[in-house]
Amino acid sequence: MKKFRKVLDGLTTSSPGGTMGSPSCGSAAGTPTAAPTPKEIDVQETLVSENFQLCKTVRHGFPYQPTALAFDPVQKILAIGSRSGGVRILGRPGVDCYCQHESGAAVLQLQFLVNEGALVTACADDTLHLWNLRQRRPAVLHSLKFNRERITFCHLPFQSKWLYVGTERGNTHIVNIESFILSGYVIMWNKAIELSTKTHPGPVVHLSDSPKDEGKLLIGFESGTIVQWDLRVKKADFRIYYDEAIHSVGWHHEGKQFMCSHSDGSLTMWNLRNTTKPFQVTFPHGKIQKDGRKESCKPILKVEYKTCRNSEPFIIFSGGLSYDKAGRRPTLTIMHGKAITVLEMDYPIVEFMALCETPYNNEVQEPYAVVVLLEKDLIVVDLTQSNFPVFENPYPMDIHESPVTCTAYFAECPPDIIPILYSIGAKHKKTGYSQKEWPIAGGTWTLGSHTYPEIIITGHADGSIKFWDASAITLQMLYKLKTSKAFEKPKQGEGRAAELVEEDPFAVQMVSWCPQSRIFCVVGISAHIILYRFSKYDANTQIVSLEVRLQCESEDVISPSENENNPCFTESGSHSPQPHQQHPPSPGSRTPEGIKDSIPCLKVKDRMVRVPPGYQAELVIQLLWVDGEPPQQITSLDVNSAYGLLAFGNCNGLAVVDYMQKTILLCVSTLDLYGAADPYQRLTRSPRRNRQSTSGLTELSDNQQSIDMERSKSPTSDHVNGHCTSPTSQPCSAGKPRVPMGPEGPRLTRRGPGRPPFRKAQSAACMEISLPVSHTEESRENSFSRSRSSSVSSIDRDTKEAITTLQFGESYGRKTDAVPTPCLWVGTSLGVVLLIPMSIPTDQEDRMEEPVTIGPSGAVLMLKGSVLRFSFLDCMGALLQSPYEVWRDPNAPEDPDRPRKRKLVHFSPSSSQDTCGDGHLAVVCSERQAKVFLMPSQSCLFVHNITESSFVLRADVVSVSNSVCLACFCANGHVMTLSLPSLRPLMDINYLPLTDMRIARTFCFTNGGQALYLSSPTEIQRITYSQEMCDNLQEMLGELFTPIETPEAQNRGFLKGFFGGNANTFDREELFGEAAAGKASRSLAQHIPGQGGMEGMKVAASGVVGDLARARIALDERGQRLGELEERTALMMTSAETFSKHAHELMLKCKDKKWYQF
């Protein structure tokens, strides 16, 4: 607990602004003012550095670029390996674990130690890893690095501790899973094939033990050679030389025959009695052509041969289609008896696996499902029904259904919002799924005690919005909204608008959501904003459309006096905010047909439409083309339900819309906002003169601007040289700096009338953003694309100042204000903060009739770098929320006795404390620094330079441990937290050393010490920076391993059980152990002990704990064997007593008989 006291007696703090010469913080319009009244701020800060720790919590979505698949048939858990070295382990809903190999090498193959709680991974760097799954966060126990050979295939027989490893050279090595040491037993390729063979058989592509005899190992080589190796006598039983390359092999459970898939699209069946030739060759998809030849087919990459007790066996394979039809989708073929079913997939098949009832390979397999891993999806097919329906996937594998372009994260939502979104979203769910339960049902997960409602919103390239329930570290889709439904379908050949339309005209750039009022705003790439209201009823509505234009003419440099006479037209029924700009109201909201190119990018539906329950579009705002130039993308947005106002800005201007009266209140360029209070000495420029003064629209926006995620996550302009740069209009390869633009840069890059300005909307996975220049070599080599000039000269005349963040709230627009009033806080790319006071009618009837008036700009505050975030605290340090309107259903039936009234919730700064009197604290964070101002005196209480060498990408004031702090994410990968209001550094962790564009654009903080970002184009990574949540994380995660009895093998009669199995008992230890096989060459493979700490029983750690654990396991196993021995002894005693009894009876019966009487 620390107390921070600061006596504000004439205190003003200067902001070091480089060569810009920024004015004093405590001044308006850059001139010092009289000292504020002495006042004492007494804030008790409770947060300390011990409250913070950074760790990953859970990863959602589909594993990016998957490579391998494995399933534990007893534990019923699934593992998926990826090209980046990640492993996802999935069980029942809630059981979802992500592991990452430190090397980052691609995972080639996965092998479960069935029912042992362990997993072997083989990676592309020729390393084997053993993962312990008996803890909630799996860890590597052992690693084995092959030095001279490349791993191509692995096979671990059920209940064996010896792993067979095939290599590229054609050799087969054997690894002890317990010690992870290589055995001296090696099957060399030249011993496996005949000496007379002149060519190398190729890499090992298959290894499996015979179901009939574990001592026989079937080795498949790529060239088409198959060898059955007798492990006991160390020689080949038979060799098969086939002239087509082999891709996979599948055994019949009796071990008498097997099936191979080949590169020519054929399947061959082989019988062990006669291996000279296959007894059956089929081309499942090869038709006989007119000339009698088979048409050529694609390779069958994998085949599985699974038997059934009461029906024909299943033959399941991928590939094998004929080459004749180009563009055919990837297929999985299921042959069951004479029936052949071809399942077409949306994406290429990476791997598939049949799920069977038994883990034993020598029993009837009884497959019940097929897991199919596609490049971008995971599906499970039900084999128990003749039409082979798919199971409904309980995991959120479709986040990337359309590329994610923005994210938003809301913790501690109103508790009723999740059920109502789910109930509406459930009505639109797909049908036709299998009625059976999801078969991957392993592990255990319980709802932890530390849960609260959380919602994640994702915006997508196709204009869709998805609401996800993210409570309790799970993710479940609630509701999907398609923003494209507000518009007519774009048609080709419609002049200028058609040039704009490419593949993704509706791509979402940012969202703004008020959970309390349920007002939802979407900003799209075509410079449009859609405002939605939530209703539980369907309705017939007509969407209101507003069109806005503001275009600055950079060539016209005029004097300030001339600029005063330039019109700023406002919407009919509204007042111009500045008295000298009063003009007659315009007749309508659309521009006359005569104005060249004065059209929006998209056409809003202008008819009555039936809208279903859920979010219903009420208002669409679009920026217009002006003189052949496209509207510039919107960079900032805020909406306030209590005020009924929506504000947005971009490169050149700001607009405020009254969405209740459907009018434009304010639409001005950034320069016009300053008036005489411009802190920079620059020549003003006129807005482009309107061709027809009768136009009812005002002008807005010029230069292309980097988009941001929900109130500007990324820097938006060159605050050094003042250039706005585009993330998309100037693409360049990563790592290569763009050519620095000189003072004439914007003029040179302006598009001509005939050139389409938009390209395909990119997902957040590949979007670029313009970022500041760094003066260190290390950051120049960072993965960011640089687009800023290194010049630090004074601001030139072509400065384009973007609106980077906006915030409505109750504040003091001027120093002389005695009471707080509704204000709009405006932050720009040059580090300037403007306050715009507003007058809003309070009565409900007046609110719909009387206009909202906006006063001239009040305070002007200064920071270094683009302004990113505003937040407000009372004088006790508590967070002040913006006022909001309590949600009411706009389509609910009217009750004449109880007319509906707007219910507003206000958080006035003056009502939250008595000791400090009036006033509140304003927290302002920019790319470079954070400041805390006291309002209304505008005194700067605290300032902290967050970073000098990098810049802040995202900043938020969030609640953690019953207090608040400022959380920042920097471009160099650092995550920081600062105390409030004193801005003490509490945490600074270098979390992501190389931050890419996707992370930069999707990173967002929320309350409760949580954050998220898009870790790949298909996955969301959630992290926590709260020590409390890190401590509780073990409780929240699911258990991967649950103690289950291994099912007993079938057909074990009394004699077999009594004498310990069949005659072919195979002791691998005797063959592969050091005593028999000797030690392997040290240079062949290197053992690397794992780093992970262990919990649970099967521990392979060093020291006493490991020895005790091993002793305990050995005792358990010994006790189990003793129990079995006791049972067998009891059986023997019973049998002996029965024999004795029969012998005694026979003796009594025969005792008096003579020998000749028998």
Tokens read off for 363: 């029993």
Question: What is the enclosing helix (H) or strand (E) of 957?
Answer: strand 952-960
| CA angle 799–802–804, rounded 5-degree value | 145
| Spatial contact of 536 and 613, defined as CB atoms under 8 Å apart | yes
| Spatial contact of 67 and 55, defined as CB atoms under 8 Å apart | no
Contacts of 975 (CB under 8 A, 6+ apart): 54, 967, 968, 969, 987, 988, 989, 991, 1011, 1025
pLDDT averaged over consecutive 10-residue blocks of the chain (1158 residues)?
Answer: 41 37 36 38 86 93 95 95 95 91 94 94 95 92 92 94 94 92 90 81 94 92 93 90 92 93 93 90 84 83 93 93 79 92 94 94 93 95 93 91 94 90 86 90 80 91 94 90 90 51 83 94 94 94 88 44 36 34 34 58 90 94 86 93 93 91 90 75 47 29 32 35 34 35 33 37 41 37 36 42 93 87 93 92 83 83 94 90 89 72 72 58 95 92 93 94 94 93 93 82 93 94 92 86 88 49 62 71 80 44 44 61 73 81 78 60
For the residues of 37-74, what is the DSSP string, one character each? PP-EEEEEE---GGGEEEEEEEEEEPPSSEEEEEEETT
As a whole number of angstroms, the distance between CA 376 and CA 398 comes to 8
Q: What is the pLDDT of residue 1048?
A: 87
For the residues of 847-915, what is the DSSP string, one character each? HHHSPPEEPPP--EEE-SS-EEEEEEE-TTSPEEPPPEEPP--TTSPP-TTS-----EE---GGGS-SS
Q: Give how far Cα 370 sits from Cα of 62, 304, 373, 381, Å.
A: 18, 10, 10, 5
pLDDT digits (tens, 9 = 90+) for 420-471: 999 998 887 777 888 899 999 998 988 766 678 999 999 999 999 999 999 8
Q: In 3D, which of 769, 831, 825, 836 has the Cα closest to residue 795?
A: 831
Q: What is the pLDDT of residue 1065?
A: 63
DSSP-assigned letter for residue 1157: G
- Give the residue ranges of DSSP H helices in 958-1085: 997-1002, 1027-1036, 1054-1058, 1068-1072, 1074-1077
Tokens read off for 374: 């596609």
Question: What is the enclosing helix (H) or strand (E) of 1112?
Answer: helix 1103-1150
Q: What is the pLDDT of residue 997?
A: 87
Contacts of 656 (CB under 8 A, 6+ apart): 645, 646, 647, 664, 665, 666, 667, 824, 854
| Spatial contact of 942 and 966, defined as CB atoms under 8 Å apart | no
Pairing of strands 349-356, 528-535: unpaired
The phi, psi pair for 644, rounded to 5°, reads 70, 30
| CA angle 563–565–571, rounded 5-degree value | 110
Q: What is the pLDDT of residue 727?
A: 34
3-state secondary structure 450-463: CCCCEEEEEEECCC
Q: What is the pLDDT of residue 905?
A: 84
| Spatial contact of 180 and 1087, defined as CB atoms under 8 Å apart | yes
Q: What is the pLDDT of residue 482?
A: 95
**DSSP β-bridge partners for residue 435:** none
Cis ω before 890 (30° cut-off from 0): no
| Spatial contact of 857 and 10, defined as CB atoms under 8 Å apart | no
